[in-house]
Amino acid sequence: MSMLNLSTSYFAIDNPLRWLDRWIHRYQHHQTVRVNQRDVDVCWTGRAEAALQSSQQPLIVELQLYFSCVVKKRVLFHRQVEFDTATVNHKLKLAFRPIASAVCDPREFALNHPMGKDLSRGVAGRMVPARVEIDHRQGEWEGQFHY
């Protein structure tokens, strides 16, 4: 009988140092913004606030619900976009975009996330997340969203 390897399973416990970092650098900044007629709680750390304040132009956080062979949640960071955004504050904007893949090829999906069509106008457009968390660690933006 083999033992379950918790470090590589679907239910793997994250790196304990990461948990400690999250405890020290909490999401202390909060703002609620309206996206597609729904409230979204946007939270960010002090590190993210410092990075936002030092920036000349606003950061645009794209929350992407990507429909392909599987459904994937993606958080992308931009300085300029050509789609609608909701203003969180003068340094931060938010966009929710459900996207359908152009193809259902696992390799292409993993490498390029090919965009097929925007599903914002349909039922998927109402699947707006309830909470967004943003951090800035080691010079890189990180984000996740929850339902």
Which pLDDT score, from 0 to 100, does residue 126 have? 72
* Cα–Cα distance measured from residue 94 to residue 136, given in angstroms and rounded to the nearest whole number: 16
Instruction: Note whether 112 and 103 are within 8 A (CB).
Output: no
Question: Which string of b and e fits 74-87 if b means at least 16 CB within 10 Å?
Answer: ebeebeeeeeebbe
In the block, tokens 């097929």 appear at: 116
Ranking 86-90, 93-97, 102-106 by mean pLDDT, the lowest is 102-106
What would the mean pLDDT of 71-98 be, rounded to a whole number? 92
Is the per-residue pLDDT at 108 higher than 80?
no
**Coarse DSSP helix, strand, coil percentages of the chain, rounded to the nearest 5 percent:** 20, 45, 35
**Contacting residues for 52 by C-beta, under 8 A, at least 6 apart:** 44, 59, 91, 92
103 vs 11, residue with greater confidence? 103
Place of tokens 């349909």: 122
Q: Based on C-alpha coordinates, what's the Rg of the chain? A: 17
Determine the Cα angle at 59 with ends 24 and 57, to 5°: 120
Least confident of 57-66, 95-104, 107-116: 107-116
Q: For the residues of 49-71, what is the DSSP string, one character each? A: HHHHHH-SS-EEEEEEEEESSSE
Higher per-residue pLDDT: 50 or 120: 50
The 10s digit of each residue's pLDDT in 24-46 is 778 889 999 999 889 999 999 99
pLDDT at 93 over 90: yes
